[in-house]
Structure 1
Amino acid sequence: MPTPGDSSTEQARPVLGHVNLMVDTLIANAPPNELRAFLRDTLGSTDPSVTGTLLMVARRHLERTNATALPTAGTLFVQSADGGGWEATGELSATLARSRTFYGAGMGLAALAVLTEVVKSAVGLRWEEDSRMEAVLAEVDEDLTQAIQSAKEEIDGGRVPEAVQARMVHDALRQALLEDKKDVESWGGDFPFGRALPSVELWKV
């Protein structure tokens, strides 16, 4: 039977709050796609509680780093060089990726707050049918529906301390969608958020 000072016992006991030097070297140097593969394989082959821990740590990190700051107005879309339409900027791509990080981590309300700013920025834009801009806005519509589902789970999971916070996010998004719908109808376009608006209106907060 090993004694309290037995080196084999100490080596077998995991050290919490510390990343092994070699593992840290792996994390620092492996390509992002390889890290994603490692992570997916790990989560798929371990106890479900590991996934819960990962999400908890992710949420804590995102909250601590102020990642939920809203995008700056006027940076998501620009007029094309020929002045004939609008184009998405790299800032929009980064903003959508950030919103996906939020709702993937179970922070649906934070994701919706960010996506509401995207919807507001779309007011006044014009685009042609089957254009790249129409496709980009369809992606936003998909993100909105995913974030709404994440927000519902966030609320049901008891991670929203005050219901008023959820209502404010819900109402702001609904208002932005209605404003965009009115604007698009004024020039005869197809409303790009046809899935998100019904989802918001059916969502009782």
Structure 2
Amino acid sequence: MSFPPQAFVSSSGGARPVLGHVNLMPDTLIANATLDDLRAIVRSMVASATPGITQALTAAARERFTQTAHLYSGGGIPTPPSSAGSSPDSASAAGDYPLLTPFGPTAHMQDLLRRARALYGSGMGFASLRYVRVRDACLLAHAVRATLGLRWDAEGEDALSETLALLDADIAQAIQSCKEEVDSGRVAVWDDARSAVGDVRAALRECQADFASRGRKQSACACAGEREFPFERAVVSLNYWDVPT
């Protein structure tokens, strides 16, 4: 049996897809294709420039991510942490579970960054900074705070430096996504948007103060004072933009 194709209807929030049943054959494809195959297929569809296909993809993604937001309470981590790569005294001040250790990022940091990238990539920039309506789901703000008081080990220096550089770029990309969210008129609750931006701005200031303090005291490790603040790009992005009032 075949089903009608997707259609769009107008609503106060803009055009959104009306999702019906999935045909048997496409559903079989989706259920059995590998993750790499599905990514290649979706990229090919988006690259085809078929009218409305990108909007349909991102709208469906936003709906899905909104439905699953409650899974990310507790700092943006959906599952309990494993013991690998962490120890009880390595938990950061940002939450109960460590995202960073002296030897590098944990699997939970990678999970958090993937979730944040999916959010800002689908046009949910503010949510990628912080899920305001979900308890403790701070995402990128949480990741910044994971650096507070972190002791660096020579063995993990390269991995930590790379992770913080990526986090810096992610925040800048998320701010760009926030701008597009504002321009498209998709901000539902302005106070939530301001709260999300305010939280990541506060986290960056805390991190700046922490790095400055360590530079003065030389207390974290032998070379701690020589480390530069890692989030300059993120700070610049926020210095030149704020949520409209």
TM-score, with length taken from structure 1: 0.84
1:50-107 CA distances to partner (integer Å, 9 max, x unpaired)?
110111111011101225543261323354xxxxx34211011000000000001000
Of the candidates 187, 192, 203, which is equivalent to residue 176 of structure 1? 203
Query: 1 or 2, which has the higher helix percentage?
Result: 1
User: Equivalents in 2 of 1:199, 1:151: separation in Å?
Assistant: 11
What CA distance in whole angstroms lies between the structure 1 residues aligned with 2:171 and 2:179? 12
Is it true that 1:75 corresponds to 2:106 in the alignment? no
The CA distance in 2 between the partners of 1:26 and 1:161, in whole Å, is: 35
Distance 1:181 1:202, change over 3 A: same
How far apart in 2 are the matches of 1:95 and 1:48?
Answer: 32
Q: Are 2:112 and 1:95 aligned?
A: yes
- Find the aligned partners of 1:154 and 1:27 in 2 and give their Cα distance: 29
Gaps of 5+ in 1: 1-9, 80-84
State the distance in 1 between where 2:68 and 2:163 align. Answer: 28
User: Does 2:177 align with 1:150?
Assistant: yes
Q: Is the 8 A contact 1:75 1:89 kept in 2?
A: no
1:28 correspondence with 2:31: yes
Confirm or deny that 1:56 pairs with 2:59: yes
Question: Could you state the TM-score of these two structures normalised by the residue count of structure 2?
Answer: 0.71
1:171 positional shift: 1.2
Residues 97-176 of structure 1: matches in 2 within 5 Å? 97-113=114-130, 114-127=139-152, 131-176=158-203
Counterpart residue identity of residue 29, structure 2: L
Give the conservation status (yes or no) of the 8 Å contact 2:145–2:207: yes
- Helix, strand or coil at the partner of 2:62: helix
Partner of 2:85: none
Name the amino acid aligned to 1:194.
E
Query: Which letter maps to 1:20?
Result: N
| Structure 1 pair 15–153 and aligned structure 2 pair: CA distance change class (3 A) | closer
- Cα gap change, 1:135 to 1:21, in 2 (>3 Å): same
Q: What is the CA–CA distance in structure 1 between the aligned matches of 2:98 and 2:112, rounded to whole Å?
A: 8
CA distance in structure 2 between the aligned counterparts of 1:78 and 1:41, rounded to whole angstroms: 36
Once the two structures are superposed, residues 13-54 of structure 1 have per-residue CA deviations (whole angstroms, 9 ceiling, x without a partner) of 735511111111111111111111111111222423111011
Compare 189-198 and 59-68 and name the one that shifted more.
59-68
1:184 Cα deviation from its structure 2 partner: 1.1
Structure (1 or 2) with the larger CA radius of gyration: 1
1:45 corresponding residue in structure 2: 48
Percent identity of equivalent pairs: 39
